Amino acid sequence: MRKKIVAGNWKMHKTGQEARDLFAVIGKMPFDHEKTTVVVLPPSIYLSVFAAMEKKQGLYLGAQNSYPVKEGAYTGEVSAYMLNSLGVEYCLVGHSERRKYFHETDTGCLEKVKVVLEQQMIPVLCVGEELQVREADKHFDHVKKQVLAATEGLSNTDMKRVVIAYEPVWAIGTGKTASTQQASEMHTFIRQLIHEKFDALVSSAVHILYGGSVNENNARELMSARDIDGVLVGGASLKADSFAKIIAAAE
């Protein structure tokens, strides 16, 4: 049985004080860690602060990005090696905003996935199609290409640890959530793809999250679908009460 994962991607939001206040509230939220994993992904500047704060069992820290080199002359970047040294356990790879504004490619995503795994952290590989791709009925091909390219050559053991987040770009920050059926059929497709490329044990272990305008009203239905193992939440993770309701919906 796969545990549900509820991950809050804060993107570039919150001052230092606001961030500490919200994390302190999340750190006390009740949930059953045997059934649910909660991950908070704040701007990286806050990770060391949160690492030192009190948190419930089952609540983990994640980074929104990392640079795939251990250390060196890369001004402005943060490496997976550094994140691991702070106790950060998850790291997003290839979020659509990174692909759009920072020109991240599938090959670059593979490099990051490998380095995050080497650092004993869990990569959350984000994939998803733009609106015009869905309208052209090419969304399955598009997601297949993204998933295969960013997992090329991984061992079965490593692949089991990868989390995939299906986030249709047209649903991110738009208030337009994919229907449970649209999300569900893509999740089943991705799991089948992993089965074909790896094996049945790997495909049944891999967590596949849905992201894109998830809120307290749609989270429960989305997570009730067989292949939807949790949610990656943007906007609604910035408000303690909404995030608490989404966590409760996972259980």
- Site size toward ligand PGA (CB under 6 A) is 13
CA distance 101 to 164: 21
State phi, psi for 6 to the nearest 5 degrees. -115, 115
Does 229 bind ligand PGA (CB under 6 A)? Our answer is no
Query: Does the protein bind ligand PGA through residue 128 (CB under 6 A)?
Result: no
Query: Is 95 annotated in the active site?
Result: yes
User: Which residues have a Cβ under 8 Å from the Cβ of 128 and sit 6 or more positions away?
Assistant: 96, 143, 146, 166, 167, 168, 169, 171, 172, 211, 212
CB of 230 to ligand PGA, least distance (A): 12
Tell me, residue by residue from 26 to 45, as one string, x for binding to ligand PGA by CB under 6 A and - for no binding.
--------------------
From the list 97, 104, 129, 167, the catalytic residue is 167
SS3 171: helix
Q: Between 147 and 202, whose beta carbon lies closer to ligand PGA?
A: 147
Please, are residues 185 and 139 in contact by the beta-carbon 8 Å criterion?
no
Rounded to 10 degrees, the C-alpha dihedral 249/125/87/33 comes to: 20
User: Smallest gap, in angstroms, from Cβ of residue 100 to ligand PGA?
Assistant: 11
- Please report whether residue 173 would count as binding ligand PGA according to CB under 6 A: yes
Q: Summarize as ranges the residues that interact with ligand PGA (CB under 6 A).
A: 9, 167, 172-173, 211-214, 232-236
